[in-house]
Amino acid sequence: MKKFLILITAILFAYQVSNAQTEKGTQTLGLNFGFSSSNSNYVTVIPSTSPLTTSINSFNIGPTYSYFIANNLDIGASLSYSSSSTTNTTGNIATTNDTYQTNVTSCNFTGTLFIRKYFMYKNKIGFRAEGYAGLSTGTSKDTYSPTYAASNYKTNTNYYSGGAAIDLLFFPSKNLGVSASLANLEYYHFTYTSTYTTNNANQAHNNGDNLTFSFINNGLALSVFYVFGGK
């Protein structure tokens, strides 16, 4: 009888611990970070034989907080700083004197509100479905070298976004969780103003809409978070 009571107590304790991460009243505080890098090569033969090489590197980092308003359902907010660098190199295969580069560097600050639903397997690993809305503002600088130096310009951009995402979750311990982005569908509206560095009075204004979808292979996007509160 004594062994039976000890066993029941251990089972109940294990159940309580394993469910503590996503129960009502629990809170999370974490850090989101991501990195992506890509290189591509193209050759156009019309109107001339011109190779084009594109290299893109980007990263983002920022804090996130959430509160579980019900079991397996939390709401929260996150902040993010992101930076990217794109280099385009092109020229004519027949000569080495007319190659040029376009360098684009940018940085953005983003605030996001979200609501997330958790689907856990044995309270240790599972998936998280997320709906979110965000606002982002940032700047980018385009530099042409050497031929088109007169066309260098700076752009200020605002983004208004909304979307849905799916993450993979793993809880290695009661107070520690790790998530990885699996898929993301996002719509965003943007407005921007470009100012040419050679003439501050020469500006271009534009706006537009975009819909993007990524699945697993859009770089590395991870989140590590600390779980606290609850019962």
Structural tokens at position 70: 């019900």
Q: Report the DSSP pairing between strands 73-90 and 100-121.
A: antiparallel
Q: Highest mean pLDDT: which of 5-14, 100-109, 174-183?
A: 174-183
Q: Which of 41-45, 58-62, 66-70, 134-138 has the lowest average pLDDT?
A: 41-45
Q: Which of 1-5, 28-32, 113-117, 216-220 has the lowest average pLDDT?
A: 1-5
How far is Cα 111 from Cα 99, in angstroms, rounded to an integer?
A: 40
Which tens digits make up the pLDDT trace of 78-100? 999 999 888 877 765 444 455 66
Question: Biggest alpha carbon distance in the chain?
Answer: 90
Which tens digits make up the pLDDT trace of 203-220? 777 888 889 888 876 667
Average pLDDT estimate for 3-31: 59
Amino acid at 148: Y
What is the per-residue pLDDT for 115? 97
Which residues are CB-contacts of 193 (< 8 A; sequence separation ≥ 6)?
155, 156, 203, 204, 205
